[in-house]
């Protein structure tokens, strides 16, 4: 059974937004896109959670999407973060992403205002009718405050241009239910759950750890696809301590930016209210990176 969004199977990297002295570092952002083109990453997703979208101004949000689309220049897919808890703002951002040349929009479930399930449906329906762009739903109840139920996700998935869901509820049962009820492509929203999700019928991941080891995540996915579960499990075990640290030492994207700084690939700057890792956390992260073979 072919799923709707298989053009977004594989590895999508949830890009950080590099900052220098408080401003978006545009040349660093362009270098990141080039790095992922060279690494064979399938798709990049700017201005999601990892891209610190909550603290970007509207102008910065649009500028980041525009730069990434321009730098990608058709060499790599772009799944732009355009979600909002205001439906009119989500429409505006998604229209902008379409105009900028994005291949898809990654739209987080409206957060904080905790809509009813009907509200989730009407929100996505309004956006889907306003644009002609593939839409990837993003369910992350730990951040939004409310779960989009599998039945709701399946119902939204009947809209023609809604093609996939980034499922970050942490529940395999929820993911199985979505796969059962819908034709949507299911992408992992948690790096440590990518392999289990592939095992039940998922198609890939929107990854944080892929910011630093995209080829290793690709190798795990490829091994699984080739039927080599032993190699896939070995990659999972190797990646796991890194995935664990990036999500448990502090809120994402604090640890991934610290890791990129330790590897000489970013300033490590985050915007308030996010704060840098303390010395003990940095030491723990450096040990994990060293054990992995990156330092």
- Catalytic member of 4, 77, 146, 166: 166
Task: Tell me the angle at which helices 87-100 and 117-130 cross, rounded to the nearest 10 degrees.
Answer: 30
* DSSP string over 83-105: --SSHHHHHHHHHHHHHHT-SEE
- Catalytic member of 77, 121, 138, 257: 138
Quote the CA–CA distance of 191 and 2 in Å, as a whole number: 24
On whether the CB atoms of residues 184 and 177 are closer than 8 A, the answer is no
Instruction: Check if 138 is active-site.
Output: yes
CA angle (82 as vertex; 17, 90 as ends), nearest 5: 140
The residues, ordered by sequence, that sit 6+ positions from 275 with a Cβ below 8 Å of its Cβ are: 254
Q: Report the relative pairing of strands 43-45 and 23-24 from DSSP bridges.
A: unpaired
* DSSP tag of 203: -
The residues, ordered by sequence, that sit 6+ positions from 40 with a Cβ below 8 Å of its Cβ are: 214, 215, 218
Quote the CA–CA distance of 82 and 103 in Å, as a whole number: 12
On whether the CB atoms of residues 166 and 146 are closer than 8 A, the answer is no
Task: Tell me the angle at which helices 229-248 and 279-292 cross, rounded to the nearest 10 degrees.
Answer: 170
Quote the CA–CA distance of 17 and 57 in Å, as a whole number: 13
Instruction: Check if 77 is active-site.
Output: no
Catalytic residue ranges: 138, 166
């Amino acid at each position: 059974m072919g799923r709707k969004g298989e053009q977004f199977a594989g590895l999508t990297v949830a890009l950080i937004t590099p900052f220098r002295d408080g401003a978006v570092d545009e040349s660093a952002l362009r270098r990141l896109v080039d790095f992922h083109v060279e690494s064979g990453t399938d798709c990049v997703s700017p201005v999601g959670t990892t891209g610190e979208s909550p603290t970007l101004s509207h102008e910065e949000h649009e500028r980041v999407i525009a730069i990434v689309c321009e730098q990608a220049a058709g060499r790599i897919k772009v799944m732009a973060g355009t979600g909002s808890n205001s439906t009119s703002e989500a429409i505006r951002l998604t229209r902008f992403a379409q105009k900028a040349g994005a291949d898809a929009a990654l739209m987080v479930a409206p957060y904080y205002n905790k809509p009813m399930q009907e509200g989730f449906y009407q929100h996505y329906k309004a956006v889907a009718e306003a644009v002609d762009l593939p839409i990837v739903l993003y369910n992350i109840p730990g951040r939004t405050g409310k779960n989009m139920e599998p039945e709701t996700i399946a119902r939204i998935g009947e809209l023609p241009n809604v093609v996939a869901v980034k499922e970050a509820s942490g529940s395999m049962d929820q993911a199985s239910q979505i796969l059962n009820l819908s034709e949507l492509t299911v992408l992992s929203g948690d790096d440590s759950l990518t392999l289990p999700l592939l095992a039940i019928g998922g198609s890939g991941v929107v990854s944080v750890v892929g910011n630093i080891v995209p080829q290793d995540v690709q190798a795990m996915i490829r091994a699984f696809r080739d039927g080599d579960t032993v190699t896939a499990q070995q990659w999972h075990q190797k990646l796991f301590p890194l995935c664990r640290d990036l999500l448990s030492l502090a809120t994402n994207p604090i640890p991934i930016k610290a890791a990129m700084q330790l590897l000489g690939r970013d300033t490590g700057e985050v915007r308030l209210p996010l704060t840098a890792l303390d010395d003990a956390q940095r030491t723990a992260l450096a040990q994990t990176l060293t054990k992995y073979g990156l330092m």
